[in-house]
Amino acid sequence: MSTCYHDACCVGNSKMRAHAVVHLGFPSQKQSKIVLEALQPETTAISTHRSRVSIKGRGKTLIIRFEAEDTSALRAAINSFLRWVFLMKTVLNSVDKCMQFMKNSSERLNTSLL
């Protein structure tokens, strides 16, 4: 099997396959790990006869590899995972803001009691 550097290539049994690799950066390694652990079960659940997804973390970066029989299946898999990642980043940012607000409120309360 040869290495291909384009969007569709012949693999093994001469069947055309589409593939993509997406690198996503996060503000912290902690956030990257949270998203990785949340998405990991989906890589086995969403694998079908038309597409496969693998994900790994490298520091603050997630690397998601998509492989599909055709570009329609590839697009569907990429869209699903990117929507989940966007949702998780939105939730994590909201949690961070709430935690910061609670910390600031607690500090103000402690200061006013002095």
Please check whether residue 101 lies inside any domain of the structure: no
Please check whether residue 42 lies inside any domain of the structure: yes
Please check whether residue 47 lies inside any domain of the structure: yes
What does the pLDDT look like over 16-46, one tens digit per residue? 489 999 999 999 999 999 999 999 998 887 5
- What DSSP line would sit under the chain, residue for residue? -----SSEEEETTTEEEEEEEEEEE-SSHHHHHHHHHHHHHHHHHS--SSEEEEEEEETTEEEEEEEESSHHHHHHHHHHHHHHHHHHHHHHHHHHHHHHHHHHHHHHHHHHH-
Domain CATH for 48: 3.30.310.50
Structural domains of the chain, count:
1
Tell me the residue range of the domain where 38 lies: 8-85
What does the pLDDT look like over 39-72, one tens digit per residue? 999 888 755 678 999 999 999 999 999 999 999 9
Please check whether residue 18 lies inside any domain of the structure: yes
> What is the pTM for the complete model shown?
0.73
Please check whether residue 32 lies inside any domain of the structure: yes
- The C-alpha angle with vertex 82 and arms to 76 and 84, in degrees rounded to 5, equals 105
